[in-house]
Amino acid sequence: MHRISTQTMIAIDSPFFLQPEELPKQPDWSTIFGNDRPLALEIGCGIGDFVVKTAVDFPDLNFIALDFYNKGCYKSCRRVEKAGLDNVRVGRFEARQFIADYLQPGSLQKVFINCPDPWPKQRHRKRRLVQPAFVKFLADYLVPGGDFHFATDFDDYGIDVAGFMPQLDEFENCLTPDLYRHELANYHRTKYMLKFMAHGARIYFVHYRKAVSPLRLES
């Protein structure tokens, strides 16, 4: 007899949770947040520790925090409520689909991606979220001068992203002459990062900014 594993879904009734069935395509985010501040996006918010601390640092931005895991969204909403923030909304969505369906091109001031699944086996690495095609897709949704932050504890993933980013002419490196750093001032460490750092792992921080006038090579 085979046992079927099922995940118990936690009902999330927080006012800070984006209920998928109630969110219209291409919503008016100024109505949702009650103001017209620029938008920032965190992909893979986990338990919400990073987005809460960062939203405190940037009260002039509205943060959308996405995670695919129901429990993570629940904990993130609880953290937002406990912090008394009004500039964070949490949603359980697949990132690319959410961006295409619910955001307008040129609407994001910042994008944060912290420690996404590294898919460590060689045959699975094509499943990684942060690849050239995805970052170029993100570029369309960032404002000129908008920030792209990527962080990982997985050596190969960090080196790979740091290696392909200079090839994307939509972006400019904010860490020049370095392609990545293991320390980045004023960037909050997630609980996940701290856990791995305690065991000697290094974090790879990559920080680029969308070019105001991207360089296009003549054909």
CATH number assigned to the domain comprising residue 141: 3.40.50.150
pLDDT of 143 reads 98
Q: Which domain holds residue 81?
A: 19-210
In a domain, 82, yes or no: yes
In a domain, 6, yes or no: no
* Phi, psi dihedral angles at 58 (to 5 degrees): -125, 70
83-94 core/surface letters (b: 16 or more CB in 10 A; e: else) = eebebbbbbbbe
CA angle 90–84–58, rounded 5-degree value = 70
Q: How far, in Å, are 12, 50, 119 from residue 137 at the CA level?
A: 30, 24, 21
Instruction: Using CB atoms within 10 Å of the CB of residue 176, give its burial: 0 to 12 exposed, 13 to 18 middle, 19+ buried.
Output: exposed
pLDDT of 120 reads 82
In a domain, 167, yes or no: yes
pLDDT tens sequence across 51-89:
999 999 999 999 999 999 999 999 999 999 999 999 999
In a domain, 148, yes or no: yes
* Residue 160 is assigned to a ligand binding site: no
The Cα–Cα gap between 59 and 81 comes to: 15
What SS3 state is found at 40?
strand
140 is catalytic: no
Which regions in the chain score pLDDT beneath 70?
1-7, 214-219
The Cα–Cα gap between 70 and 104 comes to: 25
Whether the Cβ atoms of residue 189 and residue 203 lie closer than 8 Å to each other: yes
* Residue 21 is assigned to a ligand binding site: no
In a domain, 10, yes or no: no
In a domain, 126, yes or no: yes
pLDDT of 214 reads 53
pLDDT of 7 reads 60
Q: Indicate if the alpha-carbon torsion angle 71, 7, 118, 208 is positive or negative.
A: negative
* Residue 53 is assigned to a ligand binding site: no
In a domain, 169, yes or no: yes
The Cα–Cα gap between 40 and 89 comes to: 10
* Residue 42 is assigned to a ligand binding site: yes
* Residue 121 is assigned to a ligand binding site: yes
In a domain, 216, yes or no: no
pTM metric for this prediction: 0.91
Set 86, 101, 117, 140: catalytic member: 117
The Cα–Cα gap between 73 and 29 comes to: 19
Pairing of strands 142-152, 204-210: antiparallel
The structural domain count of the chain equals: 1
Residue in this structure with the two tokens 């938008």, named with its chain if needed: 39
pLDDT of 196 reads 85
